[in-house]
Amino acid sequence: MPRVLVIVLDSVGVGGAEDAAAYGDAGADTVGHIAEACARGQGDQPGLREGPLSLPHMAALGLGLACQASTGRMPPNLEPPAALKGAWGYGVETSNGKDTPSGHWEIAGLPVRFNWGYFPDTVPTFPAELTDAIVTQAGLPGILGDKHASGTAIIDEYGSEHMRTGKPICYTSVDSVFQIAAHEETFGLERLYDLCRLVRVLCDPYKIGRVIARPFVGDEAQGFRRTGNRKDFAVQPPSDTILDVLAKAGRQIVTVGKIGDIFAHRSTGQEIKPHGNDACLTAAIEALRTFADGGFVFANLVDFDTEFGHRRDIPGYAAALEAFDRRVPEIEEALQEGDLVIITADHGNDPSWRGTDHTREHSPILTFGPGVTPGTIGRRESFADIGATVLKHLGVPPLGKGAAWV
């Protein structure tokens, strides 16, 4: 019986979304602009990487072709070899947002048709009644921040005051999020998680997609740094996803990285949450090597987004793409007859773009496995086609959203 591995390269968009202008993102192109920057030498960083973007394994799977189909341009150094190794295409997001839950839920067969709630770009950003409820119910001396901010900049700004006063640092962005940063040692990690659980309930009337715990360590003298103990508290998907369908069918499910958080831990099977892209990919490959027939591995590699996209770090993003590409042969070696791998993304986050936010883009869809015929799967009119393909390949009845290409 076949197995399926879906890997979400968080934010690795391939440009071209027709409605990008409505999001302020007309012309954004994550992979294309990184490749162009590297070709100009703007992706060079001594000791990290140098030269043109080098992704030979993903190019052989059709990444450059997916970029070209999406935008009309072939990114530098992503031209395909004479013999392709996979089937390629790109997906169009039909959900109303360019956020993490919307992208992942649509991949899993549940496009988001409603509008998320957002906090205005004002100071303060949070409604007074919400802030008052948080302070009162959590027994806090107050909060710090209360504005739109970069997650790293705001802990530099308020970290010392937070440690001195015990007030958590609360902030948001253009995404539908309420983020809370607190010191792991002076405030306490479990206390931060408990606070986020409370805020999750209080944010429900505002239709906020995620409450995110952003723990950090350090001090004013040595500087502050965020740790890998981030945790997202998401709303429940409003109806079934492919995870629910597979769970009801009794299939083995392993979710890696923040997938469990994104789906509010519903039907997410065995959750594995190591720190960093490399560790998450290792966990996904190991799960596949020991996996039961008919099972499903769903993995998210978040560093592309959090470490490099939001920080507008072109060399770092390029190096992360190259690091993933070098490990594609390991995925191939773990496959058995009938297995299917799908590499995709949930949105874009062009590190050459203005601001620090996600960008509305198409997503690459690269598929390979022992039985996959190389070639094009074309333009997919919804990310939900991925979920439909997973269910069909595993021989499970369809969810009713998306069109399978197998």
**Domain extents for the chain?**
4-113+238-393, 128-233
Mean pLDDT confidence for 175-197: 97
Percent of the chain whose predicted confidence (pLDDT) is above 90? 95
CB 1 within 8 A of CB 293: yes
CATH entry, 128-233, from 3.50.50.60, 1.10.10.60, 3.40.50.720, 3.30.70.1250? 3.30.70.1250
Phi, psi of 169 (to 5 degrees): -95, 115
Confidence class for position 175, pLDDT limits 50, 70, 90 = confident
Mean pLDDT confidence for 112-137: 96
Supply 92's token pair: 């169009």
For residue 85, pLDDT beyond 90: yes
| CB < 8 Å & 24+ apart, contacts of 399-405 | 399/109, 399/240, 399/241, 399/242, 399/245, 400/109, 401/109, 401/110, 401/111, 402/109, 405/87, 405/89, 405/377, 405/378, 405/380
Confidence class for position 146, pLDDT limits 50, 70, 90 = very high
Mean pLDDT confidence for 225-254: 95
CATH entry, 4-113+238-393, from 3.40.720.10, 3.40.640.10, 3.40.50.620, 3.40.50.720? 3.40.720.10
pLDDT digits (tens, 9 = 90+) for 44-84: 999 999 999 999 999 999 999 999 999 999 999 999 999 99
CA distance 180 to 161: 15
pLDDT score at 174: 83
Percent of the chain whose predicted confidence (pLDDT) is above 70? 100
Average pLDDT of every residue of the chain: 96
Mean pLDDT confidence for 16-33: 96
CA distance 390 to 294: 11
Confidence class for position 155, pLDDT limits 50, 70, 90 = very high
pLDDT score at 268: 98
For β-strands 340-344 and 363-368, DSSP reports them as antiparallel
Mean pLDDT confidence for 348-353: 98
CA distance 19 to 223: 41
CA distance 349 to 11: 5
Collapsing DSSP states into helix, strand and coil, what is residue 147? strand
pLDDT score at 88: 98
Mean pLDDT confidence for 18-33: 96
For residue 313, pLDDT beyond 90: yes
CB 105 within 8 A of CB 239: no
Supply 258's token pair: 């923040």
Amino acid at 36: E
- What is the layout of strands, in order, in the sheet containing 87-91? 270-272, 253-256, 296-301, 4-9, 340-344, 363-368, 87-91, 375-380
Confidence class for position 36, pLDDT limits 50, 70, 90 = very high
CA distance 315 to 146: 32
